[in-house]
Structure 1
Amino acid sequence: MPQSRKIIFSITILYTILILYFIFLAFGRLGTVEQMAGYTFIFVPDSFFKLPSISDLLHPTLMDFVDFGNLTAFIPFGILIPLLYRISFIRFITWFILCILAIETIQALTLLGSFDVNDAIQNSIGAAVGFGAYKLGFRTQNVWSLLATTGISVIVLLIGVWGFCGLVDKAFTQEEGPFAAINELKDSAGNTLTGTKRYSFEMGGQNVEPQYNVFSVEGKNRETYTYMLGSKEKLVFSLFYGIPDQTDNKGSISVFVDGHEVFSSSEKYQLREPEMFEIPIESVSELTITVEGNEKLWDVGYRKMKYFWN
């Protein structure tokens, strides 16, 4: 074995040991084994295109470093392996994916982590970037030119992958649409205007000016509002609530989605100031709101989750 190949082989072995250490032993993994309730296998990819943005890197979190590390830490394999063996990209990436899947499986079975297909995809993208940089950089015999070209190729390919992943993530990430007030819908009787008229009131020493609607008992002890939403999906439901000043501190509210209670509150758990409740709802056909006592709800409505092209 030529001297240069021995050096590359030694670097590959040492780097592999380092990566395996971080995968199986780093971050206190051994100390968390006893806390694991069971094996974790994530087979459906959902966030492998979610790489940290430039704004994220200005104030990075631990997960930003993990996501970026999942990509960049495996770039060297795309350079070192082709230097050791003449191999096509298809063969290289196939073997690499099989090895990563095996490592992820061992991680899960030993309770030193989880099998996460998102990590495997990010690792494979990093290895592919390295292989591309090798193909672009190793076309000269001059060592300094070789290193410079390979380094620049890594940076250019990383930026390209970063931008592509950002576009794909945006294309497949839903965002909140415009607010739709609940009183714009029809109630169970087919009426479109329910709830009391909008009016201002004092709460917590501040003046509250509802923008869309107000719900209260209006002289009764209890009032129930029921809406048929027609099987709407992917909503973020929200409302403001509280008990106004200069009234008895007595009242409660509850919200039901298709017969299942998703929120309830009473004077025991409230401050005498405006509070907000918000919850994502996968699907809803019937929405029921119950108000008791001096409780008031206002600006009740939802935002539908949409893709940017909708």
Structure 2
Amino acid sequence: MHLKQQRKTIYAITIFYTLLIIYFWFFAFGRTDSVDQISEYTFIFLPDAFFRVPGLSDILHPTLMDFVDLGNIAAFIPFGILIPLLYRTSFVRFMTLFILSILVVETIQALTFLGSFDINDVIQNSLGAAIGFGAYKLGFRTKNNWRNITVTGISSAVLMLGVWGVFGMIDQMFTKEIGPFVAINDLKDSTGNTITGTKPSSLKIGGQDVEPQYNVYGIEGNKQETYTYTLGNKELYLSLNYGIPDQKDFQGSIKVTVDGQEFLSVSAEDQLHEPDMRIIYLPQANELTIIIEGNETLWDVGFREMVYTWN
């Protein structure tokens, strides 16, 4: 094929593909139907810790968002190949112009209510273009067009897998996971209380046998006891079990507060005569206060901290 004819063909493909992407940007997925329902501009300037790259488990059990994340990268690989074929350009210049173009499009999406400005999309789209440019540099080195196309396609796939693996590991490093269970009695009570109870062989609540594994908090009669622990400003899930043993009068209460905010308040009148459990998410927890009154019994109180894998 003559060079001028090749250029015309590449130019036509670029125009067609650009129009296709513009269609998906502004008109696909029912965007025009939802314009009247949107009254506020959406601008997301802060990226995720690292934009999400679908992992192997996601590929085996994909969701819609997994396809969107992967598509935001793959759909822009062709631009990294087509544009350098049409115009001589360096990687830095190409990426600078591409990122500026994406920023303009994202802004238009937000201002027209046909989408949102999302910096995560900018990052993903730009990464796709960068992969395409790298594949172009690796593939188009000879005068054999079919060989160039084949090598470029393979290079795109290899680079995509490489980026997927690298950013998948980075994403994993900056994604918190729930840590092991820590019994609350392993911490020091800041009030000096040491009466966390001796773990009995079992409790019977509502006819059910309960066997505490870590700790038991309970008092007799109308007394009230307060326990305060310092958690160290951690993000965690606090878990606790509570109830009134069968052999005791059905009266008492439990109150749990964290940094002065009440997260649990239960009295005997409000609960069923059976064991109950609560798991409370705390984005930042420093001072935990537990107040027990009457015959309420609390057991296996502890937390699982959200931690990075490298902690």
2:32 to 27, 30, 33: 30
* SS of equivalent residue, structure 2 residue 94: helix
Structure 1 unpaired stretches of 5+: none
What is the CA–CA distance in structure 2 between the aligned matches of 1:37 and 1:241, rounded to whole Å? 46
- Whether the aligned pair in 1 keeps the contact of 2:193 and 2:227 (CA below 8 Å) is no
* SS of equivalent residue, structure 1 residue 51: coil
Aligned residue number for residue 219 of structure 1 = 220
Deviation at 1:294, TM superposition (A): 5.5
What is the CA–CA distance in structure 2 between the aligned matches of 1:146 and 1:137, rounded to whole Å? 5
Which letter maps to 2:306? M
Deviation at 1:71, TM superposition (A): 1.0
Distance change >3 Å, CA 191–CA 33, structure 1 → 2: same
Aligned residue number for residue 177 of structure 1 = 179
What is the CA–CA distance in structure 1 between the aligned matches of 2:14 and 2:76, rounded to whole Å? 11
Aligned residue number for residue 140 of structure 1 = 142
What is the CA–CA distance in structure 2 between the aligned matches of 1:63 and 1:32, rounded to whole Å? 19
Aligned residue number for residue 97 of structure 2 = 95
Moved more, 67-76 or 289-298: 289-298
How many aligned positions are there? 309
The structure with the larger Rg is: 2
Moved more, 231-240 or 134-143: 231-240
Distance change >3 Å, CA 134–CA 189, structure 1 → 2: same
What is the CA–CA distance in structure 2 between the aligned matches of 1:136 and 1:238, rounded to whole Å? 55
Which letter maps to 2:115? G
Deviation at 1:18, TM superposition (A): 1.6
- 2:35 pairs with 1:6: no
Aligned residue number for residue 194 of structure 1 = 196
Aligned residue number for residue 279 of structure 1 = 280
Deviation at 1:112, TM superposition (A): 2.2
- Whether the aligned pair in 2 keeps the contact of 1:49 and 1:168 (CA below 8 Å) is no
Superposition RMSD in Å: 2.7
* SS of equivalent residue, structure 2 residue 107: helix
Which letter maps to 1:164? V
- 2:108 pairs with 1:106: yes
- Whether the aligned pair in 2 keeps the contact of 1:25 and 1:112 (CA below 8 Å) is yes
Which letter maps to 1:287? L
Moved more, 147-156 or 278-287: 278-287
- Whether the aligned pair in 1 keeps the contact of 2:199 and 2:213 (CA below 8 Å) is no
- Whether the aligned pair in 2 keeps the contact of 1:56 and 1:64 (CA below 8 Å) is yes
1:54-83 deviations in Å (ceiling 9; x for gaps): 111111111111111111111111111111
Moved more, 109-118 or 28-37: 28-37
* SS of equivalent residue, structure 1 residue 179: strand
Deviation at 1:196, TM superposition (A): 6.0
1:168-202 deviations in Å (ceiling 9; x for gaps): 11222222232211122222322344256444234
Which letter maps to 2:188? K
Distance change >3 Å, CA 53–CA 243, structure 1 → 2: farther
Distance change >3 Å, CA 44–CA 206, structure 1 → 2: same
Aligned residue number for residue 238 of structure 2 = 237
1:184-229 deviations in Å (ceiling 9; x for gaps): 222232234425644423456643222112234x333464533231
Deviation at 1:235, TM superposition (A): 2.4
What is the CA–CA distance in structure 1 between the aligned matches of 2:78 and 2:269, rounded to whole Å? 59
Deviation at 1:52, TM superposition (A): 0.7
1:132-171 deviations in Å (ceiling 9; x for gaps): 0011011122222112101110111011101100111122
Aligned residue number for residue 260 of structure 1 = 261
Structure 2 unpaired stretches of 5+: none
1:157 to 139, 150, 159: 159
Moved more, 244-253 or 12-21: 244-253
Deviation at 1:293, TM superposition (A): 5.9
Normalised by the length of structure 1, the TM-score is 0.88
Distance change >3 Å, CA 30–CA 242, structure 1 → 2: farther
Identity of matched residues, %: 61
Normalised by the length of structure 2, the TM-score is 0.87
1:28-107 to structure 2, matched below 5 A, reads 28-107=30-109
1:25-77 deviations in Å (ceiling 9; x for gaps): 22222333343352222211115442111111111111111111111111111
* SS of equivalent residue, structure 1 residue 2: helix
- Whether the aligned pair in 2 keeps the contact of 1:232 and 1:283 (CA below 8 Å) is yes
Moved more, 276-285 or 133-142: 276-285
